[in-house]
Amino acid sequence: MRWLLLALTLLAAPLARAQDQATLVADQVSVQSDSVLSATGHVEVFFNGQHLTASTIIYNKATDRLTITGPIRIDDGMGNLMLADQADLSADLTEGMLTSARIMLHQKLQLAASEMQRSDKGRYTALRNVAASSCNICAGSTTPLWEIRAREVVHDALSQQIWFSDASLRFAGLPVMYLPVLRVPDPTLNRVTGFLTPQIRTTSGLGGGVLLPYFIALAPDRDVLLTPYVTSGGGTTLNLRYRQAFTQGTLTVNGAITSDQTLPGEGRGYLAATGNFDLGRSYQLAFHGIIVTDDAYLVDYGITDADRLDSTIGITRVQRDAYFSGKFTGLHSLREGESNTTQPAALSDFVLHRRFVPAVLGGEGTFEFQSHSLYRPSNDPTDTNGDDVADGRDMVRLSFNGTWRRNWVFGNGIELSSGLDGAADLYRIRQDTQYGGSPNRSTATGGVALRWPWVKTDAQGKVHVIEPVAQLVSAPRPDNRIPNEDSALVEFDESNLFSLDRFPGVDAFEGGTRVNLGGHYLGTTPAGWTMDATAGRVLRLKDLNQFSEPSGLSGLNSDWLLSWSMNNPDQLGVLSRFLLNKDLNPTKAELLFEVDRDKVKMSGGYRFILADLKENRSQDVREVVLNSTYAVTPNWTAHLTNRYDFVSKSAAQAGLQLNYKNECLLVDLSVSRRYTSSTSVKPSTDFGLTVELLGFGGSAAQGPQQQCRK
């Protein structure tokens, strides 16, 4: 019979203090003398959140100590588990000696020792002759994938630190590194000053190198990360990241200082800052900025592939029926052949947008005020590049825009929709021999559309919707006194087939009278598959020569637009678009796909676009892009990226990354090749290697447990 003592006798009173009651469960309890209590057989003690199990416990009232015979298991109630053969502990289990002991910290890091000493009310745990690892050990083996052997280990539960003395790191039992002293965070600590996982990076341009990050926790709300990077090619870099959290926002500053053989005798580097702040009353402040010493630095050191850098500060406010935005932007081009004196260097944009319901007309209306300005450093008022842009053109624009939309649905299902856009624009143009002065214009664009959706549901539950659409749009002839700065890139696709204006900006608008004809099909199945298709064309009364031929919108009749998509959210997604000219030859083509299966995730596609000088594209684009991830095993994952250019008949970029991850180790091996070149950027190959021991504080999440051979 087992005994349950809910309240101990006088001998056990120290185990049941007024504020910390203890419960003892055992097969047999006996009082051996006035000061000794013995419990044997499946003994359990519940005290102050701790749970102790053992085969025998002897309590001595005179010394207030527990002599425990194992197997001993102590759960401290804070995620730590201790195992031992013998123990001599204080009555509250926080001080004393355990022999042949093991401790598991938060089910991640395991430390085995010949003996373990607890002191200072459980704050310190000292272990001797220690083997530490977070790896699973398969049956029949005593050697983990990696372990740290040490003469002594001290765990400070208050500071959440683990100190190793006279330690060596071993992989598969073989020593690879000796460390006289090593300090690591315990698994509960996410943020502390110290070294982070080193990284190895080798590039054909810089040579081999090692990055050794050092993290400095300045305060709970701010920190610094310093990462020295030394390469075999004679380069020395110090990377810096500063972060600070405020009550209403965050600030991050990144930068680097470099001395290498790429530009001997010249310092290289960059500085970037990003911030986001809540100003109250729905106002948000956001900014980011970047400066760099030379055009190739960001690519050489793997920071970013961006070839146009923008620095922006802006305030936005989003409400149910109103939107406000004010933004200043600085631009700097790294592209070969682009001069920063003739490209816009500074821009400002302000937008105030309101939505309302007209009392008389019904439907939905909007009103918008915009201001836009751009500045070029050059003072040359002529066009030297043949792109219809004066080298020094500066411009300011004020715009007032209003829209109205309303739909009517009739009894037979036909829908009539109407729309009206009105705008007034005031300009001030300087340093341009072709455009200049203070032109202004007012425009009004109107349109009506008829839609007649036909719906059918078959016996299998599939739903089919076919919707023919005809739209008539009329707008005045464009004003040739206005240069086009913000609408150079024009897309013609299913999203704007029935738009009143296909120019994305304000400077240019689509003029003339035209008919937009097309149809739309939508099919769905109970299994979750969706099929979507759109076809259409634009027919004009007169060609106003507003669009280039590669855009697909030039001439009296536009190219045929054909698009279709097929999607199942759990398996496959395919999207295809074509623009076919009158001879049914493609002027634009795009095929995109996405596969999402248990082991394979893949995305990519093919793009074909004709050359268009209006869009600063001097040659055709024909390329294939592929990004794929394949789970080779539960622990091994392969990532492949590739971009092939059919025009140059060569790969533009390729990369392979192998990732191994289990419960105690992360290995990341990558190789990438950039084939593009310019006067400042050379083709290069980049190798990277990261090895991270998991189970310590702040490390990556643990992966699947490694598989043991049966």
Kindly state the average pLDDT of the residues 422-441.
Answer: 94
Q: How many CB atoms lie within 10 A of CB 359?
A: 6
CATH superfamily label, 3-146: Lipopolysaccharide (LPS) transport protein A like domain (2.60.450.10)
Tell me, what's the pLDDT at 1?
35
Q: How many CB atoms lie within 10 A of CB 612?
A: 20
Backbone phi, psi, residue 12, to 5°: -100, 10
Q: Which tens digits make up the pLDDT trace of 583-638?
A: 899 999 999 999 998 899 999 999 999 998 888 788 899 999 999 999 999 999 99
Backbone phi, psi, residue 532, to 5°: -135, 135
Q: How confident is the model at residue 682 (pLDDT cuts 50, 70, 90)?
A: confident
Mean model confidence pLDDT for the chain? 90
DSSP string, 327-352: EEEEEEE-STT--TTTS--EEEEEEE
- How far CA 130 is from CA of 102, 116, 703, in Å, comes to 9, 10, 25
Domain boundaries, the chain: 3-146, 442-620
Q: How confident is the model at residue 679 (pLDDT cuts 50, 70, 90)?
A: low
Do 650 and 640 touch, CB atoms closer than 8 A? no
Closest CA relative to residue 156, chosen from 121, 194, 193: 121
Peptide bond into 71 cis (omega under 30): yes
Tell me, what's the pLDDT at 47?
87
Q: Give the list of residues 6+ apart from residue 218 with CB closer than 8 angstroms, or none.
A: 224
Q: Give the list of residues 6+ apart from residue 495 with CB closer than 8 angstroms, or none.
A: none
Do 566 and 572 touch, CB atoms closer than 8 A? yes
Backbone phi, psi, residue 332, to 5°: -140, 125
Tell me, what's the pLDDT at 22?
77
What three-state secondary structure class fits 451? Answer: strand
Q: Which tens digits make up the pLDDT trace of 307-347?
A: 899 999 999 999 999 999 999 999 999 988 889 999 999 99
Q: How far apart are CA 295 and CA 303, in angstroms?
A: 12
Q: How far apart are CA 622 and CA 602, in angstroms?
A: 20
Q: Which tens digits make up the pLDDT trace of 127-179?
A: 999 999 999 887 777 789 999 999 999 999 998 899 999 999 999 899 999 99
State yes or no: pLDDT of 7 exceeds 60.
Answer: no
Q: Which tens digits make up the pLDDT trace of 276-316?
A: 999 999 999 999 999 999 999 998 898 998 889 999 999 99
What three-state secondary structure class fits 444? Answer: strand
Distance from the first to the final alpha carbon of the chain: 41
Do 82 and 74 touch, CB atoms closer than 8 A? yes
Do 601 and 564 touch, CB atoms closer than 8 A? no
Do 245 and 236 touch, CB atoms closer than 8 A? no
Q: Which tens digits make up the pLDDT trace of 509-554?
A: 999 999 999 999 999 999 889 999 999 999 999 999 999 999 999 9
Do 43 and 24 touch, CB atoms closer than 8 A? yes
Q: How far apart are CA 302 and CA 667, in angstroms?
A: 20
What three-state secondary structure class fits 273? Answer: strand
Q: Which tens digits make up the pLDDT trace of 374-414?
A: 999 999 999 888 778 899 999 999 999 999 999 999 988 99
Give 541's DSSP letter: S
Q: Which residue has the tokens 């003892």?
A: 24
Phi-psi domain of 494 (left: phi exceeds 0; alpha: psi -120 through 50; beta: other): alpha
